[in-house]
Structure 1
Amino acid sequence: MTERKPLGMTFESWIDRQIRVAQERGDFNDLEGTGKPLPGAGQPHDELWWVKGYVEREGLSREALLPTPLQLRKEIERLPETARELPTEQAVRDVADDLNRRIVAWLRTPSGPQVPIATVRVDDLVARWRDDRATTGRTPTPPVQNRPVERDGRWRRFTRYLRGTTRFPARTRP
């Protein structure tokens, strides 16, 4: 515990005395960074220095600091290279569907800068993936048969109700 400042002594002289005593005891010997310049000395002041330092220390991408729409646009730009590395057509479709799901979620409740973003055309991406496979000599996996799910009339009425194009009839009790 530190001692209290004696009455009649200024704070400056009291602090200077504590530093002098600590130096005499050798408390400041062999400290890390002794003799090295202060990091960032001589550079202009940056308000986000701590964020940049955290990103560098943790090995994160600076892209994580971008607003959501810009992150999505960058991911759309990288999607063909990402798809090229995937082994199956279904994996390509899954990655594209996941990206489209996140795009639609952002379009429903946009936040940040209003950047125009469109969903990815999955079939075009798969066709490009097949062409890349054909040119590199890798055999493409057989295409996935996308059968439409058969639904009965109640499901159609329910989806129309959700879209607001129809209303359920009022129930009457016998």
Structure 2
Amino acid sequence: MGNCLQTRVFAEPCQKLVKVVKMDGKLLEYAPPLLARDVLMEGNNHDCLLVHSSDVHHALLLDQKLEGGQIYGLIPSSNDNHLGSESQSKTCNKESIEVEEKDGFRVKMVLSKQELKALLSEKGARDKLVAELLVKRRIQGEREVCAASGRWRPCLERILEVN
């Protein structure tokens, strides 16, 4: 007889996101499950400590699991030992990533010879790069967004308008 609109949403309840507040006031949201090292390895957070909002005096361990619905904070570390160097961060910014879904995933990168030597010589740099790729893959794999109203909405890519 006509179109019928149904207001009831048949979707599973959204999982609570892990929220991380940076020193500049920006709020980062991640989908659980997530480890503290995943947050610290992403972006320019190498020289920071991750703390829970209820206990800001004790830093979380790298292997500690972050709970959904909780708020965490990134604070600058007091020591001078940084996990990454400037050359490693440049390497991560220049990469071109292609992920293929099969048994695992394959990564294609564009590197200079010097960057490749530095990457292969330091085991920590390889582990850091793999951790960053896994975090990017996990965050990009999430296709559902939990809106404030509690309803499911698809995560659509932005389409730019051309004049």
TM-score range, shorter chain: under 0.3
TM-score normalised by the chain length of structure 1: 0.21
TM-score normalised by the chain length of structure 2: 0.22
* Higher relative contact order, structure no. (Cα contacts within 8 Å, ≥ 6 residues apart): 2
Q: Whose radius of gyration is greater, 1 or 2?
A: 1
